[in-house]
Structure 1
Amino acid sequence: MRKGWAMASSVATSIISASLTGCRGVPTAGSSARIAPSPVDVSFVSDASRVSQARRIGTAWLRALCQVPQARVDSVEVVISELVGNAVVHGTSEAVGLRMRRVGDEVRLEVDDGSPSEVPRPRQARAEAEQGRGLWLVDALVAELGGSWGFTDDGTVAWCVFPITRETSPMNGGRAA
């Protein structure tokens, strides 16, 4: 177990766990308590067809339960696609895990391919290349979100952390991103 994250113990043939149906202790109208939404913790067969499923689960959770602004959800959708896609293509495990947690005003996303490997690095692909831009894109989008990302030392888990909303700044014309 890594850093308090639990992974399903068996290889799933479909989604085995998705906490998408509400929040524990959701505050009622007029209540000032803020309770984090239930986390997402899914495991699915390592297959390219599951990338879109992971993307739909993640974006639905971000929109509905975390109330992340749509423009930010759109960016995270691409990050989820790239990280899960890389796990499916480059991982050697039979399963891929997607975990998402809200901690305060931030979201932590993890994709676990269960395959120890050298830690990948973003690279600039040649203009005519059809692949090789995924991590470069992840790097750019997570930076735009005001977050950070990386891999565990053994290369099994790709992670990113980003704020739910971005503070206003003179750099973006005083608008919240």
Structure 2
Amino acid sequence: MNERIVVAPRRSDGRPRSRDAARVGVLRRIAAAKLKHHGLDMLINDVLLISSELLTNALLHSGTTEFTLNLTVRSGCLRIAVIDDMPGRAELREIDNEAETGRGLRLVEVLAEQSGGTWGTSEDGAATWCSLPVPTGQRQ
């Protein structure tokens, strides 16, 4: 699955426009439908959280006006990738307990580790991805 969305240029205050934030929700619903169609229901909750965090990270930090959500199953793993074609790697930040933001990639890391998967960014930073094992017995 490859789904691309176009968003407005980032505002000076860094906040996304509400219609652009809503597009993240649309991609989540499309991803859920695709997973269900392919018999991967057991992964829907984790994939929706991971894709939401990766998409929101791209929306808030990449500065791009379009990005793609890609879901691919290969070699027993589901790979979730958000491609923004912008340089700069997504990195975990140290945050304090009072911070209101900054936990998204930590959530992605924890979900990946709990399932035996992994996450990372492409060499050029244009894509951030997470790979989750497909549970045994699930259709692909």
Q: TM-score, normalised by structure 1?
A: 0.65
Q: C-alpha distance in 2, partners of 1:123/1:166?
A: 34
Runs of 4+ with >6 A deviation: none
Q: 1:89: how far off?
A: 0.9
**Structure 1, residues 121-145: CA drift from partner, whole Å, max 9, x if none?**
2234211111010101110011112
Q: Which moved more, 1:52-61 or 1:119-128?
A: 119-128
Alignment correspondent of 1:108 = 79
From 111, 131, 138, give the equivalent of 2:108: 138
Q: Runs of 5+ in structure 1 lacking a partner? A: 1-39, 168-177
Alignment correspondent of 1:31 = none
SS in 1 for 2:21: coil
From 50, 58, 64, give the equivalent of 2:23: 50
From 33, 55, 66, give the equivalent of 1:60: 33
Q: C-alpha distance in 1, partners of 2:45/2:136?
A: 14
Contact 2:95 2:102 in 1 (8 A): yes
Instruction: Read off the aligned partner of 1:49 and give its amino acid letter.
Output: A
Alignment correspondent of 1:4 = none
Q: 1:68: how far off?
A: 3.7
Q: C-alpha distance in 2, partners of 1:102/1:120?
A: 23
Q: TM-score, normalised by structure 2?
A: 0.81
Instruction: Read off the aligned partner of 1:55 and give its amino acid letter.
Output: R
Instruction: Read off the aligned partner of 1:131 and give its amino acid letter.
Output: T
Aligned residues: 125
Q: Return the structure number with greater relative CO, CA threshold 8 A, min gap 6.
A: 2
Q: C-alpha distance in 2, partners of 1:59/1:125?
A: 30
Structure 1 residues 1-177: aligned runs within 5 Å: 40-46=1-7, 47-69=20-42, 72-117=43-88, 119-165=89-135
Contact 1:124 1:136 in 2 (8 A): no
Instruction: Read off the aligned partner of 2:71 and give its amino acid letter.
Output: M
Higher helix fraction: Structure 1 or Structure 2? 2
Superposed CA RMSD in Å reads: 1.7
Contact 1:59 1:77 in 2 (8 A): yes
Q: Which has the larger radius of gyration?
A: 1
Higher strand fraction: Structure 1 or Structure 2? 2
Q: C-alpha distance in 2, partners of 1:49/1:108?
A: 23
